[in-house]
């Protein structure tokens, strides 16, 4: 069951996606993790299950310094719907360009995420990322 | 923010995971799709985005006849928490044994899913599957 979403909620969620993109491109792990709930679940493209904002921040700070150093990520919000008035489901496509290193080149990923609206605004409570296989890239 | 879950809701969600496992092992696409909402989102291990119960049923019927024919799947509910009293988030590990064909062998996957409790009971509204890379198998 999908509920209609008002423009204010939509704008807030779009801003969170933009913040993830900007934080990635600034290689800022803390800024990347900021939209997540304290106890958020994060499944990486390696199928690792990271628990909590602090671990999301340090994990991303690590990859921003190493395998994804200098990379540029472009996020596109493909779908957004409300499961409840205060629970949203999004699907986002990521196009990543890595300038050097073992992962050099362009890569595509897709993540789904669940957000809830709390007193302080919308937060990501769960994110499941995945690489798109090269033979299915788009 | 995680809410406590009562034993009845927990049992209902555990039963849905068991139903997915049993339907897979019976190669029954319709039974596999039955716990999903009409308009559920399903991201496959190939990063394909399938929309709706009917497409989930036909897609699984297809792989049950072909690449996963005769396969045995063992699902383990790794985590379950409530995002709202009627919205649950689960993480499930899948250990798949394929007897023959191009995917012959043991494979591991992990999916996250969101369920909502509607008048008819709990339904899966979103599922995001992914293969666990061989160098991270567990």
For residue range A104-137, list pLDDT tens digits in order: 999 999 999 999 999 999 999 999 999 998 776 4
**The residue count for chain B:** 138
- What is the pLDDT at residue B75? 98
Q: Which helix (H) or strand (E) holds B26?
A: none
**pLDDT of A2 strictly over 70:** no
Q: Residue written as tokens 């690792």?
A: A48
Nearest to A83 among B48, B112, B125 (CB): B125
The Cα B56–Cα B58 span in angstroms is 6
pLDDT tens digits along B12-68: 999 999 999 999 999 999 999 999 999 999 999 988 999 999 999 999 999 999 999
Residue B21 sits at φ, ψ, to 5 deg, of -65, -50
CB B56 within 8 A of CB B36: yes
Interface of B with A (CB under 8 A): 1-2, 37, 39, 41, 43, 46-49, 78-79, 83-84, 86-87, 89, 91, 109-112, 114, 116, 118, 125-126, 128, 130-133, 136
Interatomic CA distance for residues B51 and B59, integer angstroms? 11
Q: Is the pLDDT of residue B6 over 70?
A: yes
Beta-ladder partners of A50? A42
Given an 8 Å threshold on Cβ–Cβ distance, is A112 in contact with B43?
Answer: yes
Rg (CA), chain A: 15
- Reported ipTM: 0.87
Phi-psi region of B21 (alpha: psi -120 to 50; beta: other; left: phi over 0): alpha
Look at residue B2 and tell me whether its pLDDT is greater than 80: no
pLDDT digits 0-9 by tens, A29-54: 999 999 999 999 999 998 899 999 99
B96 close to B68: Cβ distance less than 8 angstroms: yes
pLDDT > 90: percent of chain B: 89
Interface test with A, best of B36, B94, B112, B115 (most A CBs within 10 A): B112
Nearest to B78 by CA among A43, A3, A28: A43
> Nearest residue of B to residue A36 by CA position?
B1
The three-state secondary structure class of A36 is: strand
User: A83–B116: do the CB atoms touch at under 8 Å?
Assistant: yes
- A41: chain B residues, CB-CB within 8 Å: 79, 89, 91, 112
Res. A21: pLDDT tops 60: yes
Average pLDDT of the residues of chain A: 94
Cβ contact B126–A89 (<8 Å): yes
Q: What is the pLDDT of residue B133?
A: 82
DSSP string, A49-108: EEESHHHHHHHHHHHHHTTTTT-EEEEEEEEEEEEETTEEEEEEEEEEEE-SSTT-EEEE
- What pLDDT does B1 receive? 52
Query: Is the separation of the CB atoms in B113 and B84 below 8 Å?
Result: no
- Which pLDDT value is given to residue A136? 65
Per-residue confidence band for A4, with pLDDT thresholds at 50, 70 and 90: confident
Q: Do B37 and A1 touch (CB under 8 A)?
A: yes
Q: Which residues, including other chains, have CB under 8 Å from residue B15's CB and lie 6 or more apart?
A: none
Render pLDDT for A50-71 as a digit per residue (tens, 0 to 9): 999 999 999 999 999 999 999 9
Report the gap between the CA of B106 and the closest CA in chain A (Å). Answer: 16
**Residues B128/B111, Cβ–Cβ less than 8 Å:** yes
Q: If you measure CA to CA, which chain A residue comes closest to B50? A: A91
Place B134 in a pLDDT band, splitting at 50, 70 and 90. confident
A103 and A68 Cβ atoms separated by less than 8 Å = yes
Q: What is the DSSP letter of B3?
A: B
d(C-alpha A23, C-alpha A28), whole Å: 5
B89:A116 CB<8 A: no
What is the pLDDT averaged over residues A3-20?
94
Beta-bridged to residue B38, according to DSSP, are none
Is the pLDDT score of B137 beyond 60? no
Q: Can you tell me the distance from the alpha carbon of B74 to that of B22, in angstroms, rounded to the nearest whole number?
A: 9
Closest residue in chain A to residue B42, using alpha carbons only:
A112
Residue A22, pLDDT > 70, answer: yes
Q: What is the mean pLDDT of chain B?
A: 94
């Amino acid at each position: 069951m999908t509920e209609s979403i008002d423009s204010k909620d939509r704008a807030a969620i779009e801003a969170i996606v933009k913040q993830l993109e900007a934080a990635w491109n600034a290689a800022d792990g803390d800024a990347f993790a900021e939209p997540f709930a304290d106890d958020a679940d994060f499944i990486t493209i390696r199928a690792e299950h990271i628990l909590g904002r602090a671990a999301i921040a340090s994990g991303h700070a690590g990859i921003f310094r190493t395998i994804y150093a200098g990379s540029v990520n472009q996020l596109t919000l493909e779908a957004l719907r409300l499961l409840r008035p205060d629970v949203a489901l999004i699907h986002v496509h990521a196009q990543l360009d890595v300038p050097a290193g073992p992962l050099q080149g362009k890569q595509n990923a897709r993540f789904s995420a669940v957000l809830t609206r709390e007193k302080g605004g919308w937060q990501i409570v769960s994110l499941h990322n995945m690489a798109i296989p090269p033979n299915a890239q788009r």
